[in-house]
Structure formats: structure tokens, C-alpha cells
Amino acid sequence: MSSLFFSSIRRPLSVALRRFTLCRFSSIVTYATEEEKSRFIHPSSVVHPNAILGEGVSIGPFCTVGPFAKLGSACQLYPGSHIFGNTELGDNCILMTMHILSSGAVIGDDLPGHTVVGRNNVFGHHAVIGIKCQDMKYKFGNECYLEIGDNNEIREHVSIHRSSTPSDKTVIGDNNLIMGSCHIAHDSKVGNNNILANSTLLAGHVVVEDYAHTAGGVVVHQFCRIGSYSFIGGGSVVSQDVPKYIIVSGERAELRGLNLEGLRRHGFSAMEIKSLRAAYRKIFMPTDTSSGNIEDRLSQVEHHEDLSLFPAVNSMVQSIRDSFAEKRRGICKFRSWSGP
């Protein structure tokens, strides 16, 4: 009897409450724009209301997006990805993760300065990008910068640090493949179309030009320069510059000849390669004991009637000469050949 009594009261009461709630809610609701409807934000993620999100942004579970972040259109944050500090992502960037229980990529840091990322970049799980450098000369509170171009694939466990001073910045260009567990330290400059294989470690202020290729486990000393179209063999320790077009390898890397396969793959003509080989022999494998020191040999190639006609030869000569300038580290060791 009592149960029937209470149920008869509960039914009209619940209807009244429902009507009141709907009326109350309709008075405060704000309707989403079409742009907002195109986004997806998982309810477990924390996205600051001041963050700027482009059209079609997708943010998976357990992500964090800070108040100064700006995400371009169609960016995707897989579970456990985080964006901190003054960080800007261009359109179509992806922050990956292995599965919902693992951590995704982390981009940016709550430091003065900024991290700016271009379009169409992919960051692997556990990649840590744009955080404070590991340099004792960094002073807390100083602005520091990282800029990344377009179309880069930056794989799992990669770390790329911001600059150490406000007057410099770490820069990654376009179309680079940076494989798993690589490290790019403060103030380094990586150009375009490079391949850094697994566990390549670049110390501070390293410059990698364009179309360079490292094999796995390479270590590059601070302030070194890696020339365009060069190749560094696996496990090498590079403590001096690598000139353009050249292969180096070894526990203390030494010159091993021209990167012939790399030159062919990148469209150098047979005549260009032939001229580069002739120039390499004159510079590093002289048969004439009166050929003088390396500067003399560079001058001979530079003024050679035939070799000087090829821009690639002149570029290689200039690359070598620049490495002997003041405050540069010279080039990797080479063995002069004295055979017949």
C-alpha cells in the first residue's frame, strides 16, 4: 500500500523536475558553431578555454592543451598527448601514441619564448619536443625558441630542445625523417630532406645542411657541421666537420670517399660524379709530392681548367675551406695516399 502511494507521488514529481531542469538549462545554453561541431574533444581531456583550435581538430582521451596553445585545422592528438606553453601547430599535425595506456607526444614547455611547428608533421609516441635545453648557460626566465617546418616525420622517443639563449633558436626544416630515439640539442640547425637514423645524437650548435644521411648510433660533437649529400656510417663519433658529398665513418670518424650512391639517387649526372671523384683524388689522394698542403690543393682544383666548370666541385671546395675558418673545427681526418 505504501509503495503504491510513494510511486504515485514520485511520477508527477519527476516530470515536474524534468520540466524545470529543461527550462533552466535552455536559459543558459550556448549553441555550438559549425566550426565547433566539426571538432572532437574526449571528455577526459583537459583543454583550456583560451586555447585556439582550428576546424576538424580531434583530441583523444587524457590529453592536455594549455591556455597559450594554437592548433591548426585537422590536427590530431592521440591519447595521452600534451601541448604546453606558447606553442603553435600548423594544419594536419599528428601526435601519436601506441595505445590508450601509454603516453603520447609532448610538445612545448611553460617557458618564455615559443615553439612553432609547421604543417603536416607527425610526432611519435613519447617524443618530447620544445622543452628546456640541457645547457648550463641557459638562464631561467630567458626566452628560448624552437621552429619546425613542414612535412617532417619525427618518430618515437625523439627529443628536440629549445635554444639556450634569446638570440638563437633551434631550427628543423622541411621533409626530414628523424627516426626513433634521436636527440637534437639546443641551437642546432637541421635543414631539409635529411634522414637521421635511430639514436643519432646531435650536440648543441650542430648544423646539418640538406639531404644528409646518418646511419644508426651516430654521435656528433657540438659546433660541428654536416655537409649536404654526405653520409655518416653507423656507430661513428663525429668530432669535426663532414664536407659536402663525402662519406665518413669510424669510432673517430674519418673520410672514406664520396657518397656515390647518394649522389646517384639524388640525380647527379655521370659527368658531375666523375668530376667530383677527380677533385676528391686531387685534394685527398695526391700522387705528386710537390702538390703542397691542403689549401694549395684546394686552390689547384678551384683553378683547374675543367673541374672548375662544375658547380658541385666548387661547392665541395668551398665546404672544405669554410671548415678551416676561425672558430670552426676543421674536417674529419683523412689519410693522404702516396701510392703510384
Can you give the pLDDT at residue 99? 62
Which of 204, 227, 233, 262 is flagged as catalytic? Answer: 204
| 129-172 pLDDT tens trace | 999 999 999 999 999 999 999 999 999 999 999 999 999 999 99
pLDDT bracket for residue 47 (50, 70, 90): very high
Give this prediction's pTM: 0.87
C-alpha cell at position 178: 628523424
Which of 91, 109, 135, 187 is flagged as catalytic? Answer: 187
C-alpha cell at position 322: 669554410
Can you give the pLDDT at residue 21? 33
**Residue found by looking up cell 635511430 in the block:** 198
Which of 82, 114, 125, 186 is flagged as catalytic? Answer: 186
| 53-85 pLDDT tens trace | 999 999 999 999 999 999 999 999 999 999 999
The full set of domains in the chain, from first to last, is 34-208 (2.160.10.10), 265-323 (1.20.1180.10)
Q: Taking the C-alpha atoms of 97, 99, 102 and 108 in order, what is their torsion angle to the nearest 10 degrees? A: 20
| 276-316 pLDDT tens trace | 999 999 999 998 878 899 999 999 999 999 999 999 999 99
Can you give the pLDDT at residue 287? 86
**pLDDT score of 183 more than 50:** yes
42 is catalytic: no
Can you give the pLDDT at residue 152? 98
| Distance of alpha carbon 218 from alpha carbon 275, whole angstroms | 29
Can you give the pLDDT at residue 288? 82
**Residue found by looking up cell 677527380 in the block:** 278
Can you give the pLDDT at residue 102? 66
Nearest to 204 by CA among 183, 220, 188, 217: 188
**pLDDT score of 7 more than 90:** no
| Distance of alpha carbon 271 from alpha carbon 65, whole angstroms | 54
Average pLDDT of the chain to the nearest whole number = 89
pLDDT bracket for residue 237 (50, 70, 90): very high
**Percent residues over pLDDT 90 in the chain:** 82
User: What are residue 161's DSSP bridge partners?
Assistant: 131
| Distance of alpha carbon 145 from alpha carbon 170, whole angstroms | 6
The mean pLDDT of 33-38, rounded to a whole number, is 65
pLDDT bracket for residue 35 (50, 70, 90): low
187 is catalytic: yes
183 is catalytic: no
Can you give the pLDDT at residue 89? 98
**pLDDT score of 17 more than 50:** no
DSSP string, 105-173: -EE--SSSEEEEE-SS-EE-TT-EEEE----TT--TT--EEEEE-SS-EE-TT-EEEPPSSTT--EEE-
**pLDDT score of 20 more than 80:** no
Contact yes or no for 75/89 (Cβ under 8 A): yes
